Amino acid sequence: MSYRTKLRGAVVSSCTATLLAGSGLIALPAQAEPRPTAQVATFFSAYVDAVTGNSSQSPLEVREEYLSTALNTELTLWASTHETDPIYRKNEPEKSFSTTGQAAGALGTTDVYLTMRYEDGTSLNVAYTVRDSDLEITGLRDTPS
């Protein structure tokens, strides 16, 4: 087979795939959730399971697995000062949650935004800081609603 024949075949195949994908006749793979966002969602789900007793881990064990030692210490202090759960930021578990985006944080980190919705109809937005190199969660702060 000549070089021109091979080139023509490659061009035709590429154009056909583009046309079919553009028309919706074939589905391209869905884009995966960004890694820092997936890490926060995994942590939060594991924490919910631990709080509700649907896990063999305690909430503290989940925190120790996903959060930096420094953040864990800060959250323990925050909990004693505010007399509430340091992750939920209230004394009641959330009804549902969703990650609502991410943005570049300080050098080498990503901020992931999470919204918690509670039974009483209120919601709270928080930002988790995730270190890009190892996906360890190093920060948690409330953000404006």
* Strand order across the beta sheet in which 109-117 lies: 96-104, 109-117, 123-131, 137-143
Q: What's the CA gap between 102 and 31, in Å, rounded?
A: 15
Model pLDDT for residues 128-141, shown as the tens digit of each residue: 999 999 999 999 99
Model pLDDT for residues 110-131, shown as the tens digit of each residue: 999 999 999 889 999 999 999 9
Q: What's the CA gap between 59 and 84, in Å, rounded?
A: 13
CA distances from 10 to 4, 7, 57, 119 (A): 10, 5, 53, 57
Which CATH number among 3.30.70.1400, 3.10.450.50, 3.20.20.140, 3.40.50.880 corresponds to the domain 35-143? 3.10.450.50
Q: What's the CA gap between 99 and 63, in Å, rounded?
A: 18
pTM metric for this prediction: 0.75
Tell me, what's the pLDDT at 145?
63
